[in-house]
């Protein structure tokens, strides 16, 4: 049974940045109700209203992994680890984006799967075999017919974007060698609930995984967790290492039982925990609005930093507009001179001079806080301050 615990109101598609501002319509399906539920049986957290993937992931998808030093550093370390630990002859990435990870592998050993054609073209131009398709059983069979099987399949922040998880894991199981390894990493719901980071929810994040839910989900495909790593990326993620149940060559590490035990102790198996989370989110909203109002009453200039999908959720839920935030700065070229989805806040291509005469910066990309603080030492030195809503609304 799926029980609702969070309602973030009407939201736009988070990564659809508009060339000119217009008021979006519910009737035209430009806005959808962002409500989140907890399945008491499977322990899986998911959105009630699921947007078709072909609407979300198209030829103009703006997010590029390579734009973030935090992500490129993380992927480089991971590539070294995968080569050393598993030494795959053939490596497949589901959701290869612009190639931030696969650039660390030999071109002859890599298969890329990327549904967004603008991103798929990037890896194709670099000489990597790239399937510009959505991940499903048809594609899995197509690759199987050509390569027979794959040693390691990896996916970061992608599987939780696909509605039919049963087909996702069936397609993976279909392609893995008998001793094959699946590695997935996604935001951790335990960290989400600890940090009260409700902005992890937007149309692309159909699911938020926990070790509890992943364990139940993969069991029906004769797969099991054998290791878990905690990551700082995306506000706190988990990297799950998965093998076939009958693969006795790999021992299950205690990281699995420790993570599950931690989640159980925190109450992730109980609906009451989620209900309390929903109540706390409402308080967070009110507290954030009060911070903005008090600062604007003092005629302080506030801008946003990082025109992220996460920020889109916060702005639309808290009804923060250009009366509160003058503009956003972002390094992503595809977002420049556009507007935050659902809001009349302009996005400007980042340059340091845009921070001049600014009193406060709202951290739209709070999960890259350390990277931003290092970059903006001059702003901090002259007395500039930051606003965040994680783990609670405050001025830093």
pLDDT digits (tens, 9 = 90+) for 254-287: 999 999 999 999 999 999 999 999 999 999 999 9
pLDDT band, very low/low/confident/very high, at 22 (cuts 50, 70, 90): confident
Which of 57-61, 314-318, 324-328, 358-362 is least confident? Answer: 57-61
Tell me the pLDDT tens digit for each residue of 312-336: 999 999 999 999 999 999 998 889 9
**Is the domain of 217 the same as that of 109?**
yes
- CA distances to 45, 135, 153, 246 from 266, rounded to whole Å, are 15, 34, 31, 31
Q: Which of 268, 287, 310 is the C-terminal boundary of a domain?
A: 268
* Cβ–Cβ < 8 Å for 21, 211: no
**Is the domain of 143 the same as that of 227?**
yes
Across the range 48-77, mean pLDDT stands at: 83
Tell me the pLDDT tens digit for each residue of 78-105: 999 999 999 999 999 999 999 999 999 9
**Is the domain of 164 the same as that of 293?**
no
Across the range 116-121, mean pLDDT stands at: 93
Across the range 145-150, mean pLDDT stands at: 97
**Is the domain of 53 the same as that of 195?**
yes
**Is the domain of 22 the same as that of 90?**
no
pLDDT at 241 over 90: yes
pLDDT at 58 over 80: no
Kind of pairing between the strands at 176-187 and 150-156: parallel
What confidence score (pLDDT) does residue 70 get? 80
Percentage of residues in the chain having pLDDT higher than 70: 100
**Is the domain of 264 the same as that of 319?**
no
Q: For the chain, what is the domain count? A: 2
Tell me the pLDDT tens digit for each residue of 163-213: 999 999 999 999 999 999 999 999 999 999 999 999 999 999 999 999 999
The sign of the dihedral angle between the CA atoms of 122, 128, 132, 134 is negative
**Is the domain of 319 the same as that of 366?**
yes
DSSP codes joined into one string, 347-374? EEE--GGGGTT--EEEETTGGGHHHHHH
Q: In what order do the strands lie in the sheet with 223-231?
A: 129-131, 110-113, 91-94, 150-156, 176-187, 237-244, 223-231
Q: Which of 215, 243, 268 is the C-terminal boundary of a domain?
A: 268
pLDDT at 67 over 90: no
Give the CATH number, domain containing residue 97: 3.40.50.150
**Is the domain of 263 the same as that of 282?**
no
**Is the domain of 220 the same as that of 360?**
no
Say how far apart CA 317 and CA 285 lie, in whole Å.
Answer: 8
What confidence score (pLDDT) does residue 234 get? 84
Say how far apart CA 57 and CA 266 lie, in whole Å.
Answer: 34
Q: Rg of the chain's alpha carbons, rounded to an integer?
A: 21
Across the range 8-22, mean pLDDT stands at: 92
Percentage of residues in the chain having pLDDT higher than 90: 87
**Is the domain of 61 the same as that of 22?**
no
Domain that holds residue 378: 2-37+272-395
Give the CATH number, domain containing residue 17: 3.40.50.720
Q: What is the mean pLDDT of the chain?
A: 95
pLDDT at 53 over 90: no
Q: Which of 268, 288, 319 is the C-terminal boundary of a domain?
A: 268
Say how far apart CA 276 and CA 270 lie, in whole Å.
Answer: 11
What confidence score (pLDDT) does residue 222 get? 97
What confidence score (pLDDT) does residue 59 get? 74
Across the range 123-152, mean pLDDT stands at: 96
**Is the domain of 85 the same as that of 186?**
yes
pLDDT band, very low/low/confident/very high, at 361 (cuts 50, 70, 90): very high
With a CB cutoff of 8 Å and minimum separation 6, the contacts of 139 are 113, 131, 133, 171
Tokens (6 digits) for 33 = 């109700």
- HSE of 128, CA atoms in CB hemisphere, 13 A: 30
* Cβ–Cβ < 8 Å for 1, 39: yes
pLDDT band, very low/low/confident/very high, at 62 (cuts 50, 70, 90): confident
**Is the domain of 148 the same as that of 287?**
no
What confidence score (pLDDT) does residue 359 get? 98
Number of Cβ atoms within 10 Å of the Cβ of 3: 11
């Amino acid at each position: 049974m799926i029980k609702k615990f969070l309602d973030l109101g009407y939201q736009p598609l988070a990564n659809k940045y508009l060339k000119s501002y217009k008021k979006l319509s519910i009737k035209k399906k430009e806005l959808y109700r962002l409500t989140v539920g907890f399945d008491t049986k499977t322990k899986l957290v998911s959105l009630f209203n699921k947007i078709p993937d072909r609407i979300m992931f198209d030829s103009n998808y703006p997010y590029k992994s390579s734009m973030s030093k935090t992500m490129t550093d993380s992927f480089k370390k991971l590539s070294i680890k995968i080569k050393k630990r598993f030494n795959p002859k053939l490596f497949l990435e589901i959701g290869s984006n612009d190639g931030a990870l696969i650039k660390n592998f030999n071109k002859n050993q890599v298969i890329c799967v990327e549904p967004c054609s603008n991103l798929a073209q990037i890896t194709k131009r670099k000489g990597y075999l790239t399937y510009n398709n959505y991940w499903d059983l048809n594609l899995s069979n197509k690759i199987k017919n050509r390569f027979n099987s794959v040693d390691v399949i990896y996916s970061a922040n992608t599987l939780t974007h696909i509605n039919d998880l049963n087909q996702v894991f069936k397609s993976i199981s279909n392609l893995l060698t008998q001793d094959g390894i699946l590695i997935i990493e996604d935001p951790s719901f335990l960290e989400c609930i600890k940090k009260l980071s409700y902005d992890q929810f937007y149309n692309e994040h159909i699911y938020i995984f926990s070790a509890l839910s992943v364990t139940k989900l993969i069991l029906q495909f004769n797969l099991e967790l054998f290791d878990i790593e905690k990551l700082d990326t995306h506000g706190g993620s988990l990297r799950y290492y998965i093998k076939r149940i009958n693969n006795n060559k790999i021992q299950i590490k205690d990281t699995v039982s420790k993570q599950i035990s931690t989640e159980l102790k925190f109450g992730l198996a109980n609906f009451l925990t989620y209900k309390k989370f929903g109540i706390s989110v409402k308080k967070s909203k009110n507290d954030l609005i009060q911070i903005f109002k008090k600062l604007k009453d003092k005629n302080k200039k506030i801008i946003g930093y990082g025109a992220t999908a996460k920020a889109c959720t916060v702005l639309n839920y808290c009804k923060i507009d250009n009366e509160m935030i003058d503009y956003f700065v972002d390094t992503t070229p595809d977002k420049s001179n556009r507007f935050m989805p659902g809001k009349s806040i302009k996005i400007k291509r980042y340059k340091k001079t845009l921070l001049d005469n600014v009193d406060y910066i709202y951290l739209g990309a709070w999960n890259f806080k350390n990277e931003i603080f290092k970059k903006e030492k001059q702003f901090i030195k002259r007395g500039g301050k930051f606003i965040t809503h994680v783990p609670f609304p405050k001025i830093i």
